Homo-oligomer: A and B are copies of this chain.
Amino acid sequence: MKILMTGFEPFGGETMNPAYEALKLLPENIAGAKIIRLQVPTAFSRCAPAVEEALLACRPDAVICVGQAGGRTCVTVERVAINLADAGLPDNLGAQPVDEPIRADGPAAYFSTLPVRAIVKNIREHGIPCQLSCSAGTYVCNCLMYELLHRSALFYPHIRAGFLHVPFAQEQAVDKPGGTPSASLATIARALELAAEAVVKAPRDDLQEKKGLIC
């Protein structure tokens, strides 16, 4: 089994992105699955093509995209991506869409095809806080999640795909206002490892699919 795990470039004035920094700490093999890492441009127009290129080159069984959600207190597993691009700040190529559909002909949303509950359960059982989330925002993270699920729905139905958000790393929070939550890169990396492990171990025909709901 192969799992493609992606993390974004730093954005919004940060000098690091905890998503990709944590991925660098992961072992090359998790629960028997080969882990392939990819850094993705933080740009609406470039993120999905970069991931699709890796899909074609690596032919993974699952894709776990990871992004920074500054202000959240723990790792969160996204349930759903929506067809909306609305950027509070320009992306790394200067694009700043306002209330635009990601795909004019696409559905309003896609649910994650990762075993989101099993991921949350596995991370929590190892003592690390983790929550389900119903919003990946409307910035590049949501855009990548939507595009990935759109393409996998149409062309790669056998690939399980989804998105996790991680808090600021401690190094980023040091100079931010008191009260800004963060986590150590060691903790974030461990949570991502446990997420990959849950994906390896979760049977494909799990509860959600039986119910006709992909979440």
Contacts and interface: CB of A to CB of B under 8 A. Distances in A.
Chain A contact surface mostly: loop
Contacts of A110: 108
Given A108-B108, A186-B186, A99 B129 contact: no
Interface of A: 73-74, 79-80, 82-84, 99-101, 104, 107-111, 117, 124, 127-131, 133-135, 137-138, 170-171, 173-176, 178-184, 186-187, 207-208, 211-213, 215
Chain copies in the assembly?
Answer: 4
A68 to B, nearest CB: 16
14 contacts: A73-B180, A80-B109, A83-B111, A99-B213, A101-B212, A108-B109, A108-B111, A124-B175, A128-B170, A129-B170, A129-B174, A130-B174, A170-B187, A184-B187
A75 to B, nearest CB: 11
A79 B84 contact: yes
B213 A84 contact: yes
A173 B187 CA distance: 14
Contacts of A131: 178
Lowest 4 A-B CB distances belong to which pairs?
A109-B109, A135-B135, A108-B109, A134-B135
Given A183-B184, A208-B99, A107 B104 contact: no
A204 B119 CA distance: 43
A135 to B, nearest CB: 4
Contact of A179 (B73, B79, B117): B73
A157 B134 CA distance: 27
A186 B188 CA distance: 13
Contact of A84 (B80, B108, B175): B80
